[in-house]
């Protein structure tokens, strides 16, 4: 089975500046980068960036999908959206986490590698962001 990984990031609250898009270009020469998103897929090699760090600095939503059954969805929310006690109460090790920065929460949902390689069928990741990013408003 060949390897496939899909990464997509979305800026919702504000567009990226020219210097921010340049910083992202330094991470990936092949990615499709606009002032509101970063999209790349890998069929060999691996992503050179750290998705959580990119969420902290630039983006409000992230989708990751791998053909071996792993998937991640992350959102960035203002600190006022969630108190620390609630964040701690909802956390499930390895599945749901919430990390506070100085200004935001980065909340991540994770499905780990599975032997059920058909879990996502023939999904290539495209379209997931459009379906999942409205959850951030909820």
Q: What is the pLDDT along the chain (138 residues), one digit of tens a residue?
A: 468 899 999 999 999 999 999 999 999 989 999 999 999 998 877 889 999 999 999 999 999 998 888 899 999 999 999 999 999 999 999 899 999 999 999 999 998 866 655 655 556 778 888 888 888 888
Q: What is the pLDDT of residue 131?
A: 87
| Spans of all domains in the chain | 5-136
Strand ranges inside 11-114, DSSP E: 32-33, 37-42, 61-66, 71-78, 96-100, 104-111
Tell me which residue has tokens 């951030």.
Answer: 136
* pLDDT score recorded for residue 45: 75
pTM to 2 decimals? Answer: 0.89
Q: What is the pLDDT of residue 2?
A: 63
For residue 25, what are its two tokens? 């270009």
Which residues have C-beta within 8 Å of that of residue 77, sequence separation ≥ 6?
Answer: 104, 105, 107, 136
Give the single-character DSSP code of 79.
G
pLDDT of residue 61: 97
Name every residue whose Cβ is closer than 8 Å to that of residue 41 and which is 6 or more positions away in sequence: 4, 5, 6, 7, 124, 125
Radius of gyration, alpha carbons of the chain = 15
- Bridge partners for 109 per DSSP: 73, 96
pLDDT for position 67: 81
pLDDT of residue 1: 46
């Amino acid at each position: 089975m060949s390897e496939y990984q899909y990464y997509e990031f979305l800026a919702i609250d504000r567009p990226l500046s020219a210097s921010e898009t340049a910083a992202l270009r330094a991470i990936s020469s092949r990615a499709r980068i606009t002032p509101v998103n970063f999209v790349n897929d890998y069929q060999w090699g691996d992503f050179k960036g750290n998705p959580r760090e990119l969420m902290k600095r630039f983006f409000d939503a992230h989708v990751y999908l791998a053909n071996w059954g792993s998937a991640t969805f992350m959102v960035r929310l203002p600190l006022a959206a969630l108190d620390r006690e609630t964040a701690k109460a909802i956390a499930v090790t390895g599945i749901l986490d919430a990390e506070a920065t100085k200004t935001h929460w980065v909340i991540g949902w994770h499905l780990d590698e599975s032997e059920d390689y058909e879990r996502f069928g023939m999904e290539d990741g495209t379209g997931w962001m459009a379906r999942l990013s409205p959850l951030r408003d909820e």
